[in-house]
Chain A
Amino acid sequence: MKGSVHEALSAARHVQPGCSEKDAVWQSGKLTLYRYRAIVRPASTAPLLIVYALVNRPYMMDLQQDRSLIRGLLEAGLDVYLVDWGYPDGADRFTTLADYIDQQLGECVEHILATRGIAALNILGVCQGGVMSLCFAALYPQRVRNLITMVTPVDFHTHSDILSKWVRGIDISAFIGSGNVPGDVLSQLFLSLMPFRLTQQKYVDLLSGSADPAHIENFMRVESWIFDSPDQAGAALREFVLWFYQQNRLVQGGLTIAGRAVDLRTLRLPILNLIGKRDHLVPPEASRALRRLVGSADYTDVEFDLGHIGMYISARAQRQVPKQIAEWLIARD
């Protein structure tokens, strides 16, 4: 057993994530907008723009053939775009949330609308990207036809939100200073939520488990994604922690982006909220809060018995999540 696990690990050390063909259709600075190539006859829906988080890389949405939410969406005939924020460096230290949401995301949307000759598109916001998508939809409601949020925190002051508890007393401006926050710091933060499982048991299980090359390659892809943590633009992270984690402005009010108020009550569009019941990063109740905050009459939340990462890559997620998204969108387009 030992030798074959070692051999499989050695053979898998250069595995690359990603399986679906895509084209870079627009670039600005470090941002790249991708459009995935269709693999079946297109459904008659507006394009779906996936807005991923600033922390970690978006290829988790298309990790490998049998672990790809994007592939599931393509198989359902959806026209999928993806925002890749890139890797911020020192020159991005003053990039704010307004720059990301109002400017960069806004320009991506404008590009898609202009090239497709349509007035509005569908958005799927993931985790922190869901928060950004909510803000964008509130700022530009006529640009967004349907909104899907996935493992998205809305109420940042729920009882089981450990990240929120940890940062509540931190002077975030002093912590960040004028620089970026290294991705390694965030990796450490996430590991310290479950240190015994994530820094030890996981590897013991790997080395005492199956030597199946596919299993090992899957592990290595996830492993490389977990630690592929971009540095965070200092100004944007400071605003995100202060406004959302500390001041809980989506619930308490008072949020402004680029000088304009963001009020979730103004959202009237159809909303699908996808929640992981075993999410240790975004507690389910933090996502459930969206229902009571938006003004939409067409609101649906669906809970899956999955964790945060399992929502993207578990076998159960592959069967359930893309199907749920596609059926919900097709019913409304």
Chain B
Amino acid sequence: MKPDAWQELRDGLVSMATRGWASANGPAPDAPPGFAPFAAAAEGFEAAARAYRSAANAAAGQGDAARLFAHALRGLFADFPVPWKTTLDSALHGVAPGNLFDQPALGASREHQQRGQQLAEAARRVADAQGRLQILWSDAMREAAATFTTRLDSTRGTPAHPAPVGELYNTWIDCAEDAYARMIHGENFCTTLAELVNAASQWRQALQAAMEQSAKLLDLPTRSEIDSLAQRLKAVEHELRAARRAPDDSGQGNATRGKGPTRKRKTASKAAKAAGRSRHGTIRR
């Protein structure tokens, strides 16, 4: 990509993100959603690349310029929207363990206190795991920046012919993705991720239990009741299906509907007739 093409792309992204699709490009009813992050990333990267070029073209300090570039990229990607952060932050908003939950549960409301404690404990575990994942993320970005700095030596071009910004961008993505891959394959990451998911599951279970308790007081149907009914219905459906498959004592109808591999094969002439009365489904053709 030519440098001016990158500039054009960046301007387009920023324009779309800040003024909307229609104002940037004439009438178009639906702007593509979610362009703001790309615009911000493109703008940030372009600014860092411009600073790097200026410093690298100066008489001294190419190594410093590369380090500054890498450092700027680490900063840009420090708050990259990784899934373990964005999904859970909104769910856990406002849930924080307090001193009250460190106390032993006593009295008639003991079970309610315990539910609250479980909720708070799960939230604490989630926050703890998120924090550890964020440290791993930061380490990975530092590693990516270090690799990127090294690679800049071979990709930066000359003052007269600087490397296209798009090429630098792709190099950065490669470095970031490689470092990320090493992180997510590591045992530390896998263990911490599992801890995060398990804690979030515990938090959800505790919340569901608390909500069911409230629903019972208001005589509202609960998830448990609906699940129980659904299980019963499924059992009835299975029995009905099994009854349909069973050999027909009257000798009519379902003799060829035995279970699985022991079922007798229909002849071709009977097949067409059978097609008109599928066992359970609807035959259109």
A interface, CB within 8 angstroms of B: 1-3, 6-7, 9-10, 13, 23-28, 31, 33, 35, 91, 93-94, 102-103, 106-107, 110-111, 113-117, 119, 139-143, 160, 162, 165-171, 174-175, 177-179, 188-189, 191-197, 199-201, 203-204, 207-208
Contact = CB atoms under 8 A, between A and B. Distances in A.
A26 B282 contact: yes
A162 B285 contact: no
Contacts of A179: 223
B272 A115 contact: yes
B280 A116 contact: no
B83 interface: yes
B12 A2 contact: yes
A175 to B, nearest CB: 5
Contact of B281 (A28, A194, A204, A208): A28
A161 B18 CA distance: 41
A19 to B, nearest CB: 20
Given A103-B241, A165-B190, A196-B180, A111 B281 contact: yes
Interface string B163-190: 0001001100100110011001100001
A119 B201 CA distance: 47
Contacts of B272: 115
Contacts of B204: 177
B104 interface: no
A213 to B, nearest CB: 15
Interface residues of B, number: 72
List the 8 shortest-distance A-B pairs measured between CB atoms, nearest first.
A117-B268, A169-B194, A28-B281, A174-B201, A117-B271, A188-B83, A2-B12, A10-B28
B83 A192 contact: yes
Contacts of B83: 188-189, 191-192
Interface stretch (B36-44, B52-60, B145-153): B36-44
Contacts of B109: none
B28 A178 contact: no
A111 B283 contact: yes
Interface string B245-285: 00000000000000011010111110110110011111111
Given A165-B185, A175-B197, A28 B282 contact: yes
A208 B11 CA distance: 11
Given A162-B185, A200-B173, A27 B281 contact: yes
A203 B40 CA distance: 13
Contact of B13 (A114, A199, A207): A207
Contacts of A162: 184-185
Interface stretch (B1-9, B61-69, B91-99, B112-120): B1-9
Given A194-B177, A196-B180, A114 B266 contact: yes
A177 B201 contact: yes
B37 A200 contact: yes
A1 B193 contact: no
B198 A170 contact: yes
B280 A28 contact: yes
Contacts of B194: 166-170
Given A175-B201, A194-B177, A200 B41 contact: yes
A1 B82 contact: no
Contacts, number: 168
Given A26-B278, A201-B173, A6 B42 contact: no
B107 interface: no
Contact of B279 (A110, A116, A192): A110
B264 to A, nearest CB: 11
B23 interface: no
Contacts of B9: 2, 204, 207-208
A117 B32 contact: no
Given A9-B32, A93-B230, A170-B198, A26 B284 contact: yes
A201 B13 CA distance: 13
Contacts of A113: 265-266
A131 B205 CA distance: 31
5 contacts: A94-B231, A117-B267, A119-B265, A188-B87, A204-B169
Nearest to B34: A203
Given A26-B283, A174-B201, A196-B180, 16 more contacts: A6-B24, A13-B32, A25-B284, A91-B230, A102-B260, A110-B263, A115-B275, A116-B271, A162-B184, A165-B185, A169-B195, A175-B197, A177-B208, A196-B173, A200-B173, A203-B38
Contact of A196 (B28, B177, B280, B284): B177
A141 B261 contact: yes
Given A162-B185, A175-B197, A208 B285 contact: no
A7 B41 CA distance: 23
A169 B266 CA distance: 48
B191 interface: yes
Interface string B13-31: 1000000010011001010
B195 to A, nearest CB: 8
Contacts of A114: 266, 271, 274-275
A177 B80 CA distance: 30
A111 to B, nearest CB: 6
B134 interface: no
A311 to B, nearest CB: 21
